[in-house]
Structures are given as structure tokens and as C-alpha cells.
Chain A
Amino acid sequence: MIEIKDLVVKYRRKNEETLALDKININIGTGDIYTFIGPSGCGKSTLLHVLSGILRNYTGSVRIDGRAIDPKTQRIGLILQNYGLLPWKNVYHNTMLGVKIKNDQQVMDDYGRYILQQLGIESLLDRYPKELSGGQQQRVAIARAFILKPDLLLMDEPFSALDAISREELQDLFLKIWKENNVTTAFITHSVDEALYLGSKIVVFSPAPGRILEVVDNPCFQLDNLRFRDEYYDMCMNLRKILDKG
């Protein structure tokens, strides 16, 4: 369970203070997947930086399972738009990075091999990131996050740099692995389609300074052939209306 109460984040630039997030209140239940959508610059990524422990300069309270955020004790899987892979490590060592730092584990275990297999990258272990396509790099980043067995999975527009075909392929693959693991997930996106496809609930942000406009239950979540259904189009319209109002 993630509890965010009265979260306010301000950036200080020279002598000017900019409000990035204004009074964010939201609870994300354990094992839920929430998608966050809003116009660019609305502070979605800032929220993720707070949750991942990168940004510590905020007011209000953010607690994961009742405890304050501390990446040293909590297991946080972070997947970024530009993958965040280490270019000097090959695929094997990149996927091992999380467990190496957290558990001092040096060798891949069965679960790790299973994840690699699920993501179809078990034959690429010797390659370096520059030798991989964008989709393959993102698979490596996803593998790294899941092998860590995270308490919390944070994803910052992970598929937005990919072409449409790889994107949908990876969305499906991600959902499949996610279902097996049921990790609490905060997923940031700027795509209405992606928000509907991946989120059990959808959090809609206002333009800067970021406020939550609405938290929408998503009846489309996990429906088969979602993109061909009427519910999907209704929800798309609904979300776009809320976004336009903001």
C-alpha cells in the first residue's frame, strides 16, 4: 500500500520557486496498477522521483507499507523511458544489477532465468546495450526490475520511445509478467490508450502545477480484445473530456 498525503513539491530555480506538485492525495493498494496521465510538464515524473527516493525535498507524507520511502530498505524497480541501462555492462550483468546491489547476488537464479526467457532475451546475454534495438533494451530494463522482485514498480513512460508494433508487444508481455507477480505499480504515460490498457485505475493530472483532477476506475482493465470493444472507446472519450477540462 502506498499512501500519499498532502504531497507538495517545489523546485527552486535561482530566486524563483516553481510549484511542481500541489497537494497530491492518493492511496495505491498493494498489488494494484495505477496509470498516471496528464499533459507534459504536469509533474508526473516528479511524483515518480519522489516515490523512487531520488527526490527528497518535499512536504507532506509518502509511505510505502506504513514506512517512509528509503530505497536502501525497500525494493523499488524503476523503468525509465530511456531504459537506464549501463552501457558498459552486457545484458546479463545489466539484468543482475538490481539483485547484485540489493542482495549481493552474483549468479542468476532460476527465477531470473525464467524472467529472461519470458522476455525473450535469454539469447542476448553477451550483448552490450548499443548492440540492441530500443525494444530489446526495454526488455532488459523490465527484466532487471522484475528479477529484483520489487515491492514497488515505477515506470516512467517506458514504451513511449518505441515504434507502435514493439510498444503493443511489450505492453502485452509486461501485463503477462505483471499478472504472475502482482507488483504494486505506478505507471506514467501520456497516451490515453496505454493508460486504459494497463491501469486498473487511472489518475488524471492537471497541467502544471500538477494536481489530481480525477481518479477513474477502469472497467476496461484486463478485458480481452480491449481495443475492439465499445467500452474502450467510451472510456477514451471520457478520459479525453477530463483531460480537456483540466
Chain B
Amino acid sequence: MIKVLSNNNKWQGALYSLVLVIIIWQALSWLLKLPIIPSPFAVLINIIQIFAAKMEIHLLYSLGRIVGGIVLSIMLGVPLGFLMGYFKRVDKVLSPLVYFTYPVPKIALLPIIMLLFGLGEASKLIMIVLIIIFQIIITSRDAVKGIPQEIFRSLQSLGANRLQIFKEVIIPASMADVLTATRLALGTAVSILFFTETFGTQYGMGYFIMDAWMRVNYLDMYAGIIILSLMGFCLFTVIDITEKHISSWR
């Protein structure tokens, strides 16, 4: 009962803030009467009119890139983090490397990535992975390190092999933390996605928004921003729900 109530509250809160944003936006549009701030309702109508014909393909590209980036980051980062958390020697070798590269602003590496991997999909994917993967590596390593010794002892005394220890202990103990890290990294990942889509491609929400801007089509530009934000919000929500489901034991 309490859970349902708090969920309802959350949705109510989201609705209120949405209404508030629309009111402020509408007020600004009336007050300033500038073409760069169209009415939110005009933008909404524009989305309905052009979404299927003009935006869908761009959304699918962006969604593909970011989901691909997340999946790849988890597939590479989680095993690496597990190895670092489980084997002290691996941690000793890799930790300094991770700590050294973690604070480097990854976006500054973009020119190098582009020189090495070209302007195509690979560069975009690598940029997203570079943003997300460090948090995933560090979180999964710390999650493994945080598992109490008694739990390992119980499994050892049962004669469990490494594979069983990974399956029964390490993966379930750390999955929730990994998803939290992914959710937190998602915001930055969407920004990077936008940035990488402004060159070397004719598809993606980043391209769509910048293209509308160049054509001075502000209605389309706002439509793009809203759809990109919605995409981020949906991904955020999906990860959030999965996380809650997985960590119901907490």
C-alpha cells in the first residue's frame, strides 16, 4: 500500500513539474513574442504532424546508438570490474590505470577517436562507451569488494567452483549497483550522443536538431529537443524500474 502510494506521488510530482514547465514556457512565449520561443502547443502540434514522416528514423538511430553504447559498456565493464574486485592482482595492475583515465574529460578525446576510427558509427559508439564504462567498472569492482567474507566462506565450504561463485554471489550482489551507475551516467551519455551526432552523419536526433537550427525552423528544432529529452527520460525510467525489480531483496 505504501509502495503504491509513493509511486503515485512520484508520477503526480512529474505531472506537476511538466505542467509548470509548460506554463512558464507559454508565458515566456507570450511576453517576448520572439520567433525563437514558439508556443509549446505549436511545438506539440508540430511533433504530431512531422513525427512519423521526419523524426522517427532519427529517433531510431539515436536510440540504437545509446542502447548499443550502454549494452557494450555493461558487457565490457562489468566483467572487468568483477575481475578487479575478485582478484587482487588484477586490481593492482588496472586500478591506477582506471583512476588515471577516469578524470580525463572524454569529450576532449573526440578528435583522436575520430582520427583513429573515422567519422562513422564506431566513433559515436566508442565515445558513449568511454563515458559510461568507467563508472560501471568502478561500481562493479566496489560491489564485489563489498561482499562480506562470510558469504564467500559459506560457498567455499560447499565446494563451489569459481563459476558457481560468480553465478550465485558476485552477479546478483552487484547487478543493482551496476544499474544505478548506468542510470547516473545516462545523462552525460545523452549529451555526448547529441554532440557526436552533429557531424559525420545524416541521422540521429543531434543531426535533426542542428539541421533544423541551420534552416531556422525553430518549431522542428524544439520538437527535436523534446523528443531527445523524452528518449532520455524513457531510458532512465526503464533502468530505474529494472533496478527496483532486481534489488527487491534490499
With both chains docked as a complex, state the minimum distance between the C-beta of A112 and any C-beta of chain B, in angstroms: 15
Tell me whether B157 and A73 are in contact (CB under 8 A). Answer: no
Contact (Cβ within 8 A) B168 A130: no
- Interface positions of B (Cβ within 8 A of A): 148, 150-151, 153-161, 164, 168-169, 172-173, 248-250
Docked pose: A187 CA to B168 CA in angstroms = 27
B154 adjacent to A130 (CB under 8 Å): no
Docked-complex contact A130 and B158, CB < 8 angstroms: no
Question: Which of A84-92, A166-174, A201-209, A227-235 faces chain B?
Answer: A84-92
How many residue pairs link A and B with beta carbons under 8 A? The number is 70
Number of A interface residues in the complex (CB < 8 A): 31
B168 touching A71 by the CB < 8 A rule? Answer: no
Which of B153, B156, B168 is the one whose CB lies under 8 Å from A86?
B168
Contact of B173 among A53, A88, A101 (CB under 8 A): A88
Sorted from nearest, which 3 A-B pairs have the closest CB atoms?
A71-B159, A84-B154, A72-B159
Residues of chain A touching chain B, judged by Cβ–Cβ distance below 8 Å, are 49, 52-54, 70-74, 76-78, 80, 82-84, 86-90, 97-98, 100-102, 128-130, 148, 154
Q: A52-B153, A80-B150, A82-B150 are in contact. Are A73 and B159 (CB under 8 A)?
A: yes
The docked-state distance in angstroms from the alpha carbon of A194 to that of B119 is: 73
Q: Chain A contacts of B156 at CB under 8 A? A: 52-54, 71
Assess the B153–A71 pair: CB atoms within 8 A.
Answer: no
Checking A84, A98, A130 against B151 with a beta-carbon cut-off of 8 angstroms, the contacting residue is: A84
Taking a contact as CB atoms under 8 Å apart, the answer to whether A86 and B160 are in contact is: no
Chain A binding surface SS class: loop
Contact B157–A53 (Cβ < 8 Å): yes
A84 to B154 Cα, complex, angstroms: 6
Contact B150 A52 (CB under 8 A): no
B250 touches A101 (CB 8 A): no
Q: How far is the CA of A102 from the CA of B155 in the complex (A)?
A: 11
Shortest C-beta distance, B72 to chain A (Å), equals 26
CB-based nearest A residue for B174? A88
Closest to B169 in A: A86
Task: Please judge, given known A-B contacts A80-B150, A101-B164, A130-B250, whether A88 and B172 are in contact too, CB under 8 Å.
Answer: yes
Q: Is the CB of B151 within 8 A of A86?
A: yes
Whether A78 pairs with B159 at a CB distance below 8 angstroms is no
How many Å from the CB of B84 to the closest CB on chain A? 21
